Chain A
Amino acid sequence: MNLLAYFRSIKDKFLHRSEFDQDITQELRSHMQHRAEDLERSGLNRAEAQRRARLEFGAEERFREECQEAVGGNFLDTLVQDIRVSLRVLRKSPGFACVAILTLALAIGANAIVFSVINSFLLHPLNLPQAENLYQIERGKDRVSGQSYPDYLDLRDRNHSFDGLAAYNIAVAGLDNGKEPLRAWIEETSGNYFDVLRVRPYVGRFFQPSDERGANSAPCMVLTYSFWHTHFRGDRSVIGQVVQVNKRPFTIIGVTPPEFHGTLMFFHPDFFVPLVNREQIEGTGHLDVRGEHWIFAVVGRLKPGITLAQAIADLNGIGSSLEKAYPKSDGQMFFALGHPSFYGDYLGPVIQAFLGGLMLLSGLILLAACANLGSLFAARAADRSREVALRLALGSSRSRILRQVFTEAVLISLTGGAVGLWFSVILLRGLSTWQPFAKWPVYVPVNPETNVYIVALVLALASGFLFGAVPVRQILHTNPYEVVKLGAGSRLGQRITTRDMLLVVQIAICAVLVTSSMVAVRGLVRALHGNFGFDPQNSVVIDTDLSMAGYTTDKVPEMQKRMIDALQVIPGVQSVGLADSVPLGEGANTKIIFKDETTDTRPANAAAHAAIFRISPDYFRADGTSLLSGRAFTWHDDESAPRVGVINAEFARRIFGSVSGAIGRYFKTPDPNHVESIVRVQVVGVVESGKYNSVTEDPTAAMFLPMLQSPFSSTWLVVRCNRDALQIGPVIRSTLHNVDSSIPIYIQTRYKEMDGVLLGARMATIALGVLGIIGAMLSITGIFGMAAYSVSKRLRELGIRIALGARRSEVLQSALGRAFKLLALGSAAGLVLGILASQVLAYIVYSASPRDPLVLTGAVLAMSLLGLIATWIPAQRALSVDPLILFRDE
């Protein structure tokens, strides 16, 4: 068909309706007048000629309609009519329309949000050119991303599979802008970093491989766009300006484009400095130490045509030759490749599993909403059976009636979808600008994109057709004669209807959601009150790095001691401990340990891995870690004293067999400050085991070494006080400011410090909690709809019962017994399913156990309560039936 002609032909019909109609009338009239004139010429008088012309022409009205149809666009025409009718019908029952739209808005909104998160996390993880070719190199059987600098150089220069390998490390640095010392998160990058990622400078230039001419050879920095805007007012003249980073001069040479935030999904650094200048930032360079795996990650771009397997084989070849050449420092030099944005496959699978589960649950919600609306629609169709019968009797086709029903359903679903999408867009925008932690530059970039809108539209349409299809059978089987004869609602079958099935399914789904959210919430509560091996109550953590104020390793211990002494005299402070990192903080360091009898100390012969903390004498008291046996450190455990250590119970059990048998024994570990040399450490004490990196981790070995025997600049102070931890913050700040005003410090409560490790569990709990609430709301509307409908259908019967003297309980039993039976059936099914589903949850939410009696009771109680709330109004209505009024009505 000629499309242009078609559109031209229907254009007038829709845009200039009255002119179009007039046109047809005029043309037909013109025809009749021509004919009449012909007839007049043949001898008839005028009036007779006109009468004859009209007669010959036939039914003018019919032909006019046929003309309109011939023009086309009838589909649209009927649609407009159907929409008008639907709007009229919906306006008559605003309660139904509101409930339906709200239900769908919740369901589609939830789906839009989940899809949007999946879209930005999994579908477009990195906003970089050809991001799909970017991989992160992971080493050994634990797939760690850390590499040492010499290893990185060998991998970079000897591989044939990558278009460049870039390395970066995450660090914190003090930026001196003349005012309050500023603490910034930075990435130390290799010279080819921006080339490998194919990012172009927004202003100025980026690092070049040619800048790297040995340690501290390139004191320059590249700002991220947002840091440039917030701290340099977007001023282009900053290029070439020298700023003090950790009291060392660095020249600003460029700014990254606005969309670039490094290669990690959630972590946005403030600025970049060359890796070769690490010593100026962190106090130690370790550029030539092969055993020190301090590089955070190595990222490479696979050459076109090279498969993953080829690249891994290539890397493994280099790895095994390195292992042979440097047996003392290089172990487990076999590799895997992961996606860089989630820190390789460290976070990836967890997030994928979680999002998959979330998508499943939100899909279930949509299904429950459809079931809910389906049964409401079926109920309405039953109410309207008289109208339908009348229309059928008057000659309307069943397909025409179905079309109207579907129009109504889709109208509701589209409105609901639009409202839901609107909500979710607001929420997502908020989420994108939200920073879960004040301390870390962590973002959740989930701005909605076009495909989110498309998915929401498709879901809305699909669900409209889904629940619109429920009453189809009912309408197709309407027998006009029966209905008109007997009156609507006279059929009172007790058989199980589609509606009942839908309600059971819906309640089951909601019960699953309610159960799993309760499991998650309970898990989180337990996680927060679990035993961490320290006591977060009434405790404040101060976090800084003395290298930010320019202290070198030899000057550090003295300064640290001054800080401890200064804090100790604050009123209300009970004890002050100092460590290089704290358990459940930003991540503990891990070192290998050897048994004392091991003489060949190559990594392959390690007896275990242990988290390592270097601490001050009073640390255990300050952090509330109980000493099981032996002693803690004293200030006399310094570099001139023999090497001593305190281990945790897990360490003692694994290496020495028991806690009591560990005291006085020895183990070996690389010196924290010189990994190449192995030190022999005597165990002087054993403390309780705790959690070090995450609350869900398995029992982990840990060792504590005295701070004076291996000094460090990264400084964490734990302050235990006997009053509210929040109040003491300002006092601590001013005290430390008096010690040295150029040290940027960060103060927060010990609980807040744990936010990072609890983030996953917390997010999971929030997400599941919200889904659970939505599920509960859906089950209320579902049960309410069903109960209200069944009461309204049986008002007459109930009236007769009351008139005949039925008791209240009997009336209720007859009015709502069925609803309650269905509720019980659905809840039971949902509970069982929920318990099964919660097994999956246990992986994410710490100590989430579905077999928890509290959770089971809670879920049963919640479902009964929901049932009670939902049936309250219908029950009141059933009880207040006045038989007299009822009979007068009929």
Chain B
Amino acid sequence: MGDQAQILPGTLDLLILKAVSLGPLHGYGVLLRIAQISGQALLIEQGALYPALFRLVRQGVLKATWGTSENNRRAKYYELTPVGRKRLREQTDGWNRLATAMGAALAAQAEEV
């Protein structure tokens, strides 16, 4: 996993929400889904995922239920709650605005100023 970017602080939650919004996932599945949708470009420390998941459950954004994985193992599955769906929408919008603004700011050339 050579050319990967360390994720920005605070973006892990948003990534988890996005990953889970595509279908219920267990913890490892969330990790794989993020890798998949980010084109393997984002590096997440595996263990750090879990405190974030527990925090999101506490905030009522995610719902957790024990189930059986495709490997026939017991695993805890996470899915979005209505609150979570709303949060995801808001944070996606916020992120897009920030990214556009940052992009514009960083693309500025000397003669444009």
Residues of A within 8 A of B (CB): 1-2, 4-6, 9-10, 23-24, 26-28, 30-31, 33-35, 37, 56-60, 62-63, 66-67, 69-72
Contacts and interface: CB of A to CB of B under 8 A. Distances in A.
List of 6 A-B pairs having minimum Cβ-Cβ separation, nearest first: A2-B60, A5-B60, A63-B47, A66-B51, A58-B47, A70-B54
B75 A30 contact: yes
Given A9-B58, A63-B51, A70-B52, A34 B75 contact: yes
Contact of A58 (B26, B45, B52, B73): B45
Nearest to B70: A34
B12 interface: no
Contacts of B69: 30, 34
Given A60-B47, A70-B51, A31 B58 contact: no
B63 to A, nearest CB: 9
B46 A31 contact: yes
Interface string B22-57: 000011110000000000000001111011101101
Contacts of A59: 47
Contacts of A72: 58
B74 interface: yes
27 contacts: A1-B59, A1-B60, A2-B59, A5-B59, A5-B60, A9-B57, A9-B58, A27-B27, A27-B50, A28-B50, A30-B27, A31-B26, A31-B27, A31-B50, A33-B71, A33-B73, A34-B28, A34-B75, A58-B47, A58-B48, A59-B47, A66-B48, A66-B50, A66-B51, A67-B50, A71-B54, A72-B58
Interface of B: 26-29, 45-48, 50-52, 54-55, 57-60, 69, 71, 73-76, 83
Nearest to B56: A70
Contacts of A4: 60
A33 B71 CA distance: 10
A26 B74 contact: yes
Contact of A70 (B27, B47, B58, B76): B58
Contact of A62 (B29, B47, B76): B47
Main secondary structure of the interface of A (DSSP, over half): helix
B2 to A, nearest CB: 15
Contacts of B51: 63, 66-67, 69-70
A61 to B, nearest CB: 10
A4 B61 CA distance: 12
Residue from the set A1, A33, A59 with the largest chain B CB neighbour count within 10 Å? A33
A293 B54 CA distance: 81
Contacts of B50: 24, 27-28, 31, 63, 66-67
Given A4-B60, A30-B76, A34-B69, A67 B54 contact: yes
Contacts of A31: 26-28, 46, 50
Contacts of A2: 59-60, 83
Nearest to A62: B47
A62 B45 CA distance: 13
Nearest to B55: A70
Main secondary structure of the interface of B (DSSP, over half): mixed
A612 B48 CA distance: 96
Contacts of A34: 26, 28-29, 69, 71, 73, 75
A748 B69 CA distance: 93
Residue from the set A24, A27, A58, A62 with the largest chain B CB neighbour count within 10 Å? A27
B22 to A, nearest CB: 18
A72 B57 CA distance: 11
B104 to A, nearest CB: 34
A178 to B, nearest CB: 77
A2 B75 CA distance: 25
Given A5-B59, A6-B60, A31-B27, A56 B54 contact: no
Contacts of A63: 47-48, 50-51
Contacts of B60: 1-2, 4-6
A70 B64 CA distance: 15
Contacts of B54: 9, 67, 70-71
Residue from the set A10, A23, A63 with the largest chain B CB neighbour count within 10 Å? A63
Contacts of B46: 31, 35, 56-58
A63 B71 CA distance: 24
Given A2-B83, A27-B27, A27-B50, A71 B45 contact: no
Contacts of A60: 47
Nearest to B32: A38
Nearest to A6: B58
A62 B60 CA distance: 24
A37 B71 contact: yes
Nearest to A7: B58
Contacts of B26: 30-31, 34
B34 to A, nearest CB: 14
A7 to B, nearest CB: 10
A9 B54 CA distance: 9
A37 B26 CA distance: 15
A24 B54 CA distance: 10
Nearest to B74: A30
Contacts of A23: 76
A35 B60 CA distance: 28
Given A31-B46, A58-B46, A71 B58 contact: yes
Given A27-B76, A37-B71, A67-B50, 5 more contacts: A30-B28, A34-B73, A35-B46, A63-B48, A70-B51
Given A27-B27, A30-B26, A58-B45, A5 B73 contact: no
A866 to B, nearest CB: 57
B28 to A, nearest CB: 4
A30 B47 contact: no
Contacts of A5: 57-60
A828 to B, nearest CB: 60
A30 B30 CA distance: 13
A396 B22 CA distance: 44
A60 B76 CA distance: 17
B80 to A, nearest CB: 13
B32 to A, nearest CB: 8
Contacts of A70: 51-52, 54-55, 58
A37 B59 CA distance: 32
A624 B69 CA distance: 106
A23 B74 CA distance: 11
A6 B58 CA distance: 5
A67 B58 CA distance: 11
B76 to A, nearest CB: 5
Nearest to A28: B50
A2 to B, nearest CB: 3
A71 B58 CA distance: 6
A28 to B, nearest CB: 6
A530 B59 CA distance: 77
A841 to B, nearest CB: 60
Contacts of B57: 5, 9, 71
A31 B53 CA distance: 13
B100 to A, nearest CB: 30
A35 B48 CA distance: 15
Contacts of A28: 47, 50
B47 A57 contact: yes
Contacts of B27: 27, 30-31
A59 to B, nearest CB: 7
A782 to B, nearest CB: 48
Contacts of A56: 46
Contacts of A1: 59-60
